[in-house]
Structure 1
C-alpha cells in the first residue's frame, strides 16, 4: 500500500536503520508509541501548552526508535522476522515472490486497523477514557496481528531471495 511506503520514506529508513529496527528491543518498545500518543493527547486539557512539548517528545521517540538500538546478533526471533516480513511487504510492487494469500490477509488486517482509527480519533477528540483504552488496545492488537503475519510471510519467502536470506542470523 502506498501509505506504508510513504511512512517508510517519512521515517528515512535506510539499510542501517532497518538492521537496527530488527532488534527485538526496537520492535517491542515501539508498541509504546500509540499508548504514549493516546495519553498525551488524552490529558491535553490538564497539560495546556505542555502538550505540544510532550507530543514532540513522542514524535522524536517514534523517529529515534528504529535507530536507537544496535542491530541484533541473532534474528531468529518473532520481532526480527516481523521486521523482515514488513520489508518484504513494502517491496511488494517489485517482488513477485509474495504469495497472494499473504497480500490478501495483510490488506485485510490493514483495513481492520483503518476501521478502528475513527473510534480512536473520536475518543481523543471527546476525551472518552474508556473508548481511548478500547480503541488503543484494538489498534495495538491489529498491529501485533500484522507483525505476526509478516513473520509468516518472511518465513515463506526468505529462501527464495538471497537478500532476504542474508537478513537471517541464527
Structure 2
C-alpha cells in the first residue's frame, strides 16, 4: 500500500471527507498548524513536558480539520488542488505530473529536516528556512494538483 493511501486512510478520507477538505478554510487552517506545532515543540524550554499538550492539540486539529468544514465544489484554487490530490492518492496521476510531485515531496522533506534541526537545537535560522521550504513546496504541490485536476477534467469531457 502506498504511503499516501495510508495517510488518507488514517484521516478517514471518504469522498465526502475529500469534498470537506477541499474547502479553502480547511486548506489554509492546516497551514496555520505549522507554526502552532513549532511553537508547541519550542515551548518545551518554558513549560517542559506540558509542551506535549500543545503538540497533541495540533495533531488532533490536523485529524479533525478534514472533517469540520462544509463540502465544496472545485471552484477555487485550493479546492481544485485538493480534488487533484484525491486523484493522485487514487493512483490517477499521469506520468507528466509524477516527477514534479516527487521532487516537491523531496523539497518538503528537506524542509521538514531543517525544521527538525531547528526545533532540536533551538536554532531559529534552520527553523525558518525549513518552514519556508515546507510551505513553498506544499503550495506548489497544491498548484500542481490543481493542474492535475484540470487536466483530468478536460480529458474526461
TM-score, normalised to structure 2, is 0.92
Asked whether 1:8 is paired with 2:3, we answer no
Query: Which residue does the alignment assign to 2:115?
Result: 120
Distance 1:2 1:46 in 2: 39
Distance 2:144 2:90 in 1: 16
Deviation, 1:14, is 1.4
Distance 1:20 1:116 in 2: 27
Contact conserved, 1:38 with 1:136, CA < 8 A, in 2? no
For the residue of structure 2 that corresponds to 1:12, the secondary structure is coil
Contact conserved, 1:24 with 1:79, CA < 8 A, in 2? yes
Deviation above 6 Å: which 4+ runs of structure 1? none
Query: Which residue does the alignment assign to 1:49?
Result: 49
With a CA cutoff of 8 Å and minimum separation of 6, indicate the structure with the bigger relative contact order. Answer: 1
Asked whether 1:133 is paired with 2:132, we answer no
Q: Can you give the 5+ residue segments of structure 2 that lack an aligned partner in the other structure?
A: none
Contact conserved, 2:21 with 2:27, CA < 8 A, in 1? yes
Deviation, 1:85, is 0.5
Distance 2:49 2:94 in 1: 49
Aligned-CA RMSD value: 1.7
TM-score, normalised to structure 1, is 0.85
For the residue of structure 1 that corresponds to 2:105, the secondary structure is helix
Deviation, 1:47, is 1.6
Asked whether 1:154 is paired with 2:149, we answer yes
For the residue of structure 2 that corresponds to 1:33, the secondary structure is helix
CA displacement, residues 17-40 of structure 1 (integer Å, 9 cap, x when unaligned): 111111111111111122111111
Query: Which residue does the alignment assign to 2:104?
Result: 109
Contact conserved, 1:85 with 1:151, CA < 8 A, in 2? yes
Distance 1:15 1:109 in 2: 25
Deviation, 1:50, is 1.6
Out of 78-87 and 152-161, give the one that drifted further.
152-161
Deviation, 1:4, is 1.9
